[in-house]
Amino acid sequence: MSRGPVVVVGAANLDLISYVPRLPTAGETLHGSSFQMGYGGKGANQAVMAAKLGSAVEMVAKLGTDVFGDGTHDNFRAQGVDTTHVHRTDAAFSGVAPIAVDPHGANAIIIVTGANDLLSVDEIEQARPSIAAAGVVVCQLEIPLEVTAAALRIAREEGVSTILNPAPAREQLPDELYLHADILCPNEPETSLLTGGPVETLEQATEQAQLLRERGTAAVVLTLGERGCLVVDDHGATALPSEDVEVVDTTGAGDAFVGSLAHFLAGGADLRDAAGRASRIAAISVTGRGTQSSFPHAADLPPELLAPTASD
């Protein structure tokens, strides 16, 4: 199932993960039970997830010339992600993300973006040939908005489908992002922040997704955690349930979903089929610890989950 590479334009961070008895309150010091480091950043996570499923993946990002940047660059290559457009700078440290995870899998994350903030519009333009050849281009909001906007605009000019994951959450987005995103993929809090409305029920979620569509995006895939996801487009609204699993760590589940969605769409699956499969893979990811380390490889998944469909 291969019709074009997945090109991800976004951030790469080093995750510093502490497992704690509960999430700390302001000014509190807690003893954690264990600690680990992992490679992260929403863009990097989504790229690695797609690569683990078998997509050809190219990453467009910027790292510092430091040990974290060296490790991140090596990790991309080890995961099969093309690093032609992964730039380096000595003007800032590589991005980091300290994460606290409680015994129920809930997490709190602080992102220090560092070198990610220095990715430029000119460097996105340098990646135009890769964007033009892509099956799908994926963006998020961890890099400067004008850089994300440039990537989406170039993809539109080249006739390439786009996914925008509006995370970390913001109250407002430039109109251009909606207009150039074929698929907007927010979670519940991100949707509420963008629209100002509730998403506690499927009816409410559908209403808020339609509000987002009115701003210019063709389709909304709203992730609903353990409830699965909701697809809203010209064909109506379709709720796709998730699988019932034992949650260990929810860190990166949204990125597992977006990376999987990109993989299946780049391979030619229709949106509902792709979203349903992505929801199942995201559920599998929360049964393991860490971020990229919890993402399953294609060989670890049930064969029917990766089997071609009539639309492939």
The per-residue pLDDT for range 65-114, each reduced to its tens digit, is: 999 999 999 999 999 999 999 999 999 999 998 889 899 888 888 889 99
Phi first, then psi, for residue 117 (nearest 5°) are: -70, -15
The pLDDT, as a whole number, for residue 1 is 43
| Contact (Cβ atoms closer than 8 angstroms) between residue 50 and residue 297 | no
Domains of the chain plus CATH, in order, are: 6-12+41-93+115-306 (3.40.1190.20)
pLDDT, one tens digit per residue, over 181-195 is 999 999 999 999 999
Measured between alpha carbons, how far is 187 from 166 in angstroms, rounded to an integer? 9
The tokens describing 297, both together, are: 């490889």
Q: How far is CA 136 from CA 103, 205, 264, in A?
A: 36, 25, 10
Task: Reply yes or no on whether the pLDDT at 312 is more than 50.
Answer: no
Residue 133 identity: A
* DSSP bridge partners of 9: 60, 139
pLDDT, one tens digit per residue, over 259-276 is 999 999 999 999 999 999
The pLDDT, as a whole number, for residue 244 is 80
pLDDT, one tens digit per residue, over 51-63 is 999 999 999 999 9
pLDDT, one tens digit per residue, over 224-250 is 988 899 999 999 999 998 888 888 878
Active-site annotation, residues = 255
Most confident of 113-117, 250-254, 308-312: 113-117
Tell me what the pLDDT averaged over the chain comes to. 93
pLDDT, one tens digit per residue, over 106-134 is 888 888 999 999 999 999 999 999 999 99
The tokens describing 217, both together, are: 């995006």
Percentage of the chain beyond pLDDT 70 is: 98
Beta strands 57-64 and 229-233, pairing class:
unpaired
The pLDDT, as a whole number, for residue 290 is 77
Q: Strands of 13-19's sheet, edge to edge?
A: 34-40, 13-19, 95-101, 107-109
Measured between alpha carbons, how far is 90 from 229 in angstroms, rounded to an integer? 41
Rg (CA), the chain: 18
H/E segment holding residue 220? strand 219-223
The pLDDT, as a whole number, for residue 309 is 60
